[in-house]
Amino acid sequence: MELYKENQLKIYNSLTKSKEDFKPITEGYVGMYVCGPTVYSNAHLGNVRTFMFFDVVYRYLLHLGYKVRYVRNITDAGHLENDADEGEDRISKKARLEQIEPMEVVQMYTVDFHNVLKNYNFLPPSIEPTATGHIVEQIEMIKEIIEKGFAYEVNGSVYFDVLEYNKSSNYGILSGRKVEDLIHNTRALDGQSDKKNPQDFALWKKADDRHIMRWPSPWSDGFPGWHLECSVMSTKYLGESFDIHGGGMDLKFPHHECEIAQSQTCSGVKPVNYWMHTNMLLLNSQKMAKSTGNFILPNEILSGNNTILSKAFSASVVRFFNMQANYRSILDFSGEALEASEKGHSKLMEAVHFLPKIAAGKTSTFDVKNWKKDCYDAMNDDFNTPILISHLFEAVKVINQIKEQKASLTAEDLSELTTTMHAFVFDVLGLMNETTQDNSGKITGVVELLIKLRKEARENKDWALSDQIRDELIALGIQLKDGKEGTTFSIN
């Protein structure tokens, strides 16, 4: 029997602001959409937190036996500098500044994004669609919204008519914002806007002469509005109504509010049953910002090549650290907190590695069945990973007591505890086996040879080669750590 039949998952739904029993539209199947990155710069640690949480959601749903279609898009056009449909397209701007093609920008940062996710042991989504790959579908959706009377064209651009929509629906249903307040609070943008009302948002924008990324449409040579792609791609791959939609809480408004308005206008039905939003990430108790130097890239944590942390941390430790906080709480990222997590992480791993060495006893001094239920209950309670981890540490305590011959488990209990620990630690939380003992001596030999060659390169001041060796090893999940005693390495 599939595990989901005996585990009633509850999800905190941002739409209703309450925890609800999760009931998928089709029994046994889950459709999940998560807003992906805009690929105009390196993967951002705050976004990585969001995607890491949804990776754990995906992993747990799979663990429960659901067939999951997980769609996470790549925004490669249409995302302007600000959310009020003004400013340059972020990717076009980067391309102009770097004097390269927009698609080179897209490729560079899509590769970087995938590289980060691979290093941090993410499962790839089922489908990773791009905005530029769905221009035709986006134009079709705009036509439909115009036909239904909820959008208008002005000077080659098309805008969604929020006031018209709000007559029969509720614009603000997700974010709690009121249209009347939006009217008063939205700045009229120096009179240049073509919008009937300032709270309207763009479905299609006419490209001005310097705008490189443009496509023909019935209205103008232009490009789609940012919110549209998610409505189009979620509907295309998951249907008019689907189960879970996720993203960072900064996307609630306007992005997700606009998605609901667009999708509902076309289908006439509620597009998403469960909205999930992750809270923000701080770095040393402050907002992360490149301009202030309070900034770190996900891969810089692994290489130790940064000014924020005093040492490198493994990807598994960073995952563990993330999962020690509830996704709906603010997470404060700091070297001190990571060091504490590193200690906890190695205690957990040591215990997991000791499991096969345990000999079964005649009796059990620990209620494994009850403990296992606690672990599932924690995850069933809106994916409460910190509570799950606290239960995993109850097992760690028992394993350590067995080591000291102060506790025992029967063969059956030992096997159940081992299976459950492995399922939660590796399959659900996605932590990685970091002991080098399990890797063959050959890998160690090869890495040590590369360390030696890198040392020679550095002595010859061949920095390019030495960096290449280090970076390519990171890409393989092997981190070098330079210390007083020479260079050591760890394998994820």
Work out how close the CB of 424 gets to Zn ion at its nearest, in angstroms, rounded to a whole number.
30
Note whether 228 and 201 are within 8 A (CB). no
Work out how close the CB of 125 gets to Zn ion at its nearest, in angstroms, rounded to a whole number.
13
Work out how close the CB of 229 gets to Zn ion at its nearest, in angstroms, rounded to a whole number.
7
Work out how close the CB of 41 gets to Zn ion at its nearest, in angstroms, rounded to a whole number.
17
Work out how close the CB of 252 gets to Zn ion at its nearest, in angstroms, rounded to a whole number.
11
Work out how close the CB of 75 gets to Zn ion at its nearest, in angstroms, rounded to a whole number.
7
Dihedral pair phi/psi, residue 433, rounded to 5°: -75, 110
Alpha helices (H) along 252-296: 257-267
* Integer angstrom CA distances of residue 219 from 34, 137, 211, 267: 30, 15, 16, 23
Work out how close the CB of 257 gets to Zn ion at its nearest, in angstroms, rounded to a whole number.
11
Q: Supply 151's token pair.
A: 């959008």
35 vs 395 by CB, closer to Zn ion: 35
Largest CA-CA distance found in the chain, in angstroms, rounded: 82
273 vs 380 by CB, closer to Zn ion: 273
Work out how close the CB of 275 gets to Zn ion at its nearest, in angstroms, rounded to a whole number.
12
Q: Which residues contact 408 (CB under 8 A, 6 or more apart)?
A: 360, 361, 362, 363, 364, 365, 402
239 vs 361 by CB, closer to Zn ion: 239
Q: Write the DSSP symbol of residue 123.
A: P
Q: Write the DSSP symbol of residue 318.
A: H
Work out how close the CB of 284 gets to Zn ion at its nearest, in angstroms, rounded to a whole number.
29
Decide the pairing of beta strands 478-483 and 272-278: unpaired
Listed residue (179, 180, 147) closest to 258, CA to CA: 179
203 vs 230 by CB, closer to Zn ion: 230
Q: Which residues contact 130 (CB under 8 A, 6 or more apart)?
A: 73, 74, 75, 76
Q: 223 - beta bridge partners?
A: 205
226 vs 313 by CB, closer to Zn ion: 226
Listed residue (87, 79, 82) closest to 40, CA to CA: 79
Residue type, 129: P
70 vs 333 by CB, closer to Zn ion: 70
d(CA 245, CA 254): 15
Residues that bind Zn ion (CB under 5 A): 35, 230
59 vs 227 by CB, closer to Zn ion: 227
Work out how close the CB of 226 gets to Zn ion at its nearest, in angstroms, rounded to a whole number.
8
Work out how close the CB of 35 gets to Zn ion at its nearest, in angstroms, rounded to a whole number.
3
141 vs 352 by CB, closer to Zn ion: 141
My answer on whether omega of the bond before 254 falls inside 30° of 0, hence cis, is: yes
SS3 category, 487: strand
CA angle 127, 132, 133 (to 5 degrees): 45
35 vs 428 by CB, closer to Zn ion: 35
230 vs 478 by CB, closer to Zn ion: 230
Note whether 71 and 234 are within 8 A (CB). yes
Buried b or exposed e, range 153-184, using 16+ CB within 10 angstroms: beebbbbbbbebbbeeeebbbbbebebeebee
Phi-psi region of 268 (alpha: psi -120 to 50; beta: other; left: phi over 0): left
278 vs 326 by CB, closer to Zn ion: 278
